[in-house]
Amino acid sequence: MPRRRLHSFRMPAVLLSIFVVLVPGLARAAELLPLGTYDWSEPDDEFGGFSALVIAADGGSFYAASDRGELYRATVNRDGSGKIASVRGIWHDRFQGNRGKPVSGFTADAEAMATDREGRLVVAFESYARIAAYSPPDMMPVALSSWDRFKAIWGNEGFESLLVLPDDRLMVIVEAQSNGGYPTYIEEGGEWQAGPPLPVPDDFHAVDATIGPDGKVYLLERRHSLITGYQSRVRRLALPDDGVWRDAADELLLTRPGELDNMEGIGLWRTSGGRTIVTLISDDNFSPFQRTIIAEYELNE
pLDDT digits (tens, 9 = 90+) for 157-214: 789 999 999 989 999 999 888 877 899 999 988 899 999 999 888 889 999 999 998 9
What is the per-residue pLDDT for 244?
81
What is the per-residue pLDDT for 28?
64
CATH code of residue 169: 2.115.10
| Range of the structural domain that residue 206 is part of | 29-300
What is the per-residue pLDDT for 155?
84
> Over the stretch 27-59, which tens digit does the pLDDT of each residue have?
568 999 999 999 999 999 999 999 999 999 999
> Over the stretch 259-283, which tens digit does the pLDDT of each residue have?
999 999 999 999 999 999 999 999 9
What is the per-residue pLDDT for 175?
85
> Over the stretch 226-244, which tens digit does the pLDDT of each residue have?
889 999 999 999 998 877 8
What percent of the chain has pLDDT above 90? 76
> Over the stretch 10-35, which tens digit does the pLDDT of each residue have?
444 444 444 444 455 445 689 999 99
> Does residue 4 lie in a domain region?
no
Pairing relation of β-strands 159-164 and 170-174?
Answer: antiparallel
What is the per-residue pLDDT for 63?
98
Structural domain tally of the chain?
Answer: 1
> Does residue 24 lie in a domain region?
no
Q: Is 125:133 a contact under the CB 8 Å cutoff? A: no
What is the per-residue pLDDT for 12?
47
> Does residue 170 lie in a domain region?
yes
> Does residue 11 lie in a domain region?
no
> Does residue 185 lie in a domain region?
yes
- Residue environment code for 249-282, b if the CB has 16+ CB neighbours within 10 A, otherwise e: bbbbbbbeeebbbbbbbbbbbeeeeeebbbbbbb
> Does residue 214 lie in a domain region?
yes
Chain centroid to CA 60: 18
> Does residue 12 lie in a domain region?
no
What is the per-residue pLDDT for 158?
85
> Over the stretch 80-112, which tens digit does the pLDDT of each residue have?
999 999 999 999 999 999 889 999 999 999 999
> Does residue 17 lie in a domain region?
no
